Amino acid sequence: MGYAAARSAVVDGVTGRPVTVTADVSPGLSSVTGCTPEQRDRIRAAIINSGYDWPDGRITLSAELYGSMTDLAVAVALLAADGQFPAELLANVTLLGELDLDGRLRPVCGILPAVSAAGNSVLIVLAGSAAEAAQVPGAVVIPVVRLAEVVSWLSDGALPVPGRPADVSPVPALPALDLADVPGNHAARFALEVCAAGGHHLFLAGNGPGVMLAERLPGILPPLDDSAALEVAAIYSMAGRYDLAPGRVPPMSAPHHTTTLAGVVGNLHRPGMLSLAHRGVLVLDDAPEFNRQILGALRGVLESGEVRVSGRDRLIRYPARIQLVLLAACCPCAGSCSCTPAVRRRYLERLARPMPYVEVRAQLERPARVVGRGEPSAVVAVRVSEARERAAARLAGTPWRTNAEVPAAELRTRFPDAPDAIALLDQAVCTGRITSATFPRLLRVAWTLADLRGAHQPSEEDAARTLGLWNGVCDAPR
């Protein structure tokens, strides 16, 4: 009979939080308080089936609402409180894992952010998750398979000496997708380059190779740095897809238009496909076919850079700083047809109200004859990288990384030295060609065009080309 405490961690959204699980066993009628009935029964079966005695007395736990990731910590703390092994070694150990009824550990989602929150302690995790846990710098991992292993080590008075962290199996290389394989479509290719350089959103309309272009956007984006790669890996870990984490390659997510709102946005327990595209690209093919609730949710996400899911007195935030690529055919039947101009207009207008945040547009085409190959992705990626470096130098000391992230209020105050471009865009507002809400989005694109040509500020020509990109009639350099 006694008291014991064990360290564990829980995950809110994709952010880990350390917790201390406490257990007290005192004389009295056999009862358990402080945890859910499901967790109580699961831990009781795991302890008994591992060959240990279930404490006989009044059991009080502090594990309520901690979730299944704390199962191992609760079981160990309970056995230590019952005096079945000394608890001194628990002070510097973090235990993470869900217990099966036979005492084996089961894989859980979110090991990576949980380990990140554990601090400088020895981590005991499922052997199958050791490679994932070892990705956190400085993590010291002890892999286990069963509850009995941990109790046996503690009963002997010492944990095994942690060895070299498990090697991480390399993520299979994605098929090489090269822009040179996309025939024609010079204007659309140029629009793709502008979006990559400035982090802007893109709308491709028509019956051309839009999906082929969208799939090649991650290949011309700069690789993720260490911090961004760890953010993305944490999201994939929480979604139970860590084995599909893209490493330093910007991720791409392409939900089908039949995907549910929860599948795209996420729920209280797992992030959706929006967050799986964090620091990368979200592609919506046949965009007018998507549920208006999904398109409406996207509007807030593009503005805030995060997904917010509420329920059960909880508010969960998932990061979702994405580049959006919308694809739409010219008409509902997506081919040679007799649809009237009014039908085609109404079809594309489904996107007008919920999705006003697309800065760059281009018209796809199906070239009748292809002569030679276009520029390869490697060449375009160099120009994109140089443009991003110029933007990063200008944005040094601010929380923003790309032109698309700069707030509208800062465009005129922090970067006022673009009189020619601003004058032309102001004129477009006065004549009704664009709205005042559109003005800052187009000014950001003008800055990106200036970065691509190595200029210190956007010119009147950059502003004119920006208006062309907005209207989908851009003149692409060849």
DSSP 208-227: SSHHHHHHTSGGGSPPP-HH
Residue given tokens 């187009």 in the structure block = 442
Check: CB of residue 324 under 8 Å from CB of residue 302: yes
* Residue 350 belongs to a domain: yes
77: tokens are 């703390």
Same-domain status, 253 and 334: yes
Quick check: is 162 in a domain?
A: no
CA distance 11 to 9: 7
pLDDT in the model for residue 166: 46
**Domain end residue (candidates: 405, 420, 455):** 405
Let me know: does 185 contact 364? Beta carbons within 8 Å.
yes
Residues 255 and 380 in one domain: yes
Residue 401: CATH number of its domain: 3.40.50.300
127, 143 contact by CB (below 8 A)? yes
Paired strand residues for 326: 203, 284
**What does pTM read for this prediction?**
0.88
Supply the pLDDT for residue 170.
45
126 plus 259 within the same structural domain: no
Q: Are residues 309 and 351 in the same domain?
A: yes
Q: How far apart are CA 116 and CA 131, in angstroms?
A: 14
What integer pLDDT is reported at residue 353 of this predicted model?
A: 66
* Whole-number pLDDT of residue 308: 93
**Residue 156: what residue type?**
D
Output the pLDDT for position 476. Answer: 60
Considering the domain boundaries, does residue 257 fall inside one? yes
Residue 416 is predicted with a pLDDT of 66
Token couple for 401:
């990384």
pLDDT the model gives residue 66: 61
Residue 454 lies in a domain: no
Among 351, 385, 405, identify where a domain stops.
405
Predicted pLDDT of residue 159: 74
- The answer to whether 232 and 280 are in contact (CB under 8 A) is yes
Q: Which amino acid is at 2?
A: G
CA atoms within 13 A on the CB side of 202: 31
Whether residue 281 sits in one domain with residue 342: yes
Shared-domain flag, residues 199 and 130 = no
State whether 224 and 147 are in the same domain: no
Residue 369 pLDDT:
62
Helix 71-81 / helix 147-155 crossing angle, nearest 10 deg = 40
CATH of the domain at 126: 3.30.230.10
268 and 151 assigned to the same domain? no
Q: Tokens 């490697």 map to which residue?
A: 378
SS3 381: helix
Looking at residue 364, its pLDDT comes to: 87
d(Cα 302, Cα 180) in Å, to the nearest integer?
30
Is 160 part of a structural domain of the chain?
no
How many structural domains compose the chain?
Answer: 2
Assess if residue 52 is contained within a domain. Answer: yes
Residue type, 263: G
Tokens coding 365: 């085409």
Q: Which helix (H) or strand (E) holds 30?
A: none
Question: Considering 105, 121, 155, which residue would you say is the last residue of a domain?
Answer: 155
Residue 172's contacts (CB-CB under 8 Å, 6 or more residues apart) are: none
Q: Do residues 257 and 109 share a domain?
A: no
Give me the tens of pLDDT residue by residue for the chain, a chain 478 residues long.
789 999 999 998 899 999 999 999 998 888 888 888 888 899 999 999 999 999 888 999 886 556 789 999 999 999 999 988 888 878 889 999 999 999 999 999 999 999 999 887 889 999 989 989 988 888 889 999 999 999 998 888 777 766 555 444 444 555 568 999 888 888 899 999 999 999 999 999 888 889 999 999 999 999 999 999 999 999 999 999 998 899 899 999 999 999 999 999 999 889 999 999 999 999 999 999 998 899 989 988 998 899 999 887 788 999 999 999 999 987 777 666 778 888 888 887 778 766 767 889 998 887 766 556 778 999 999 999 999 999 999 999 898 989 999 998 888 787 767 889 999 999 999 999 999 989 999 999 999 999 999 999 999 999 999 999 998 876 665 5
Contact 278, 320 (CB under 8 A): yes
pLDDT on residue 48: 96
My answer on whether 114 and 228 are in the same domain is: no
Q: Is residue 460 part of a domain?
A: no
C-alpha to C-alpha distance for 471 and 452, rounded to whole angstroms: 20
Total length of the chain: 478
Nearest-Å Rg of the Cα atoms of the chain is 27
Give the separation between CA 173 and CA 163, rounded to whole angstroms.
29
Same domain, 23 and 128: yes
Alpha carbon 267 to its chain's center = 14
DSSP string, 94-146: EE--EEPTTSBEE--TTHHHHHHHS-SSEEEEEGGGHHHHTTSTT-EEEEESB
| Maximum Cα–Cα distance across the chain | 87
Q: What are phi and psi of 143, to 5 degrees?
A: -80, 140
Residues 97 and 239 in one domain: no
Q: Kindly report, residue by residue over 98-134, the tens digit of the pLDDT.
A: 999 999 999 999 999 999 998 878 899 999 899 899 8
Q: Identify the domain containing residue 332 by its residue range.
A: 179-405
Q: Is 456 domain-assigned?
A: no
Nearest to 404 by CA among 327, 323, 293, 296: 323
Cβ atoms of 66 and 13 within 8 Å: the answer is no
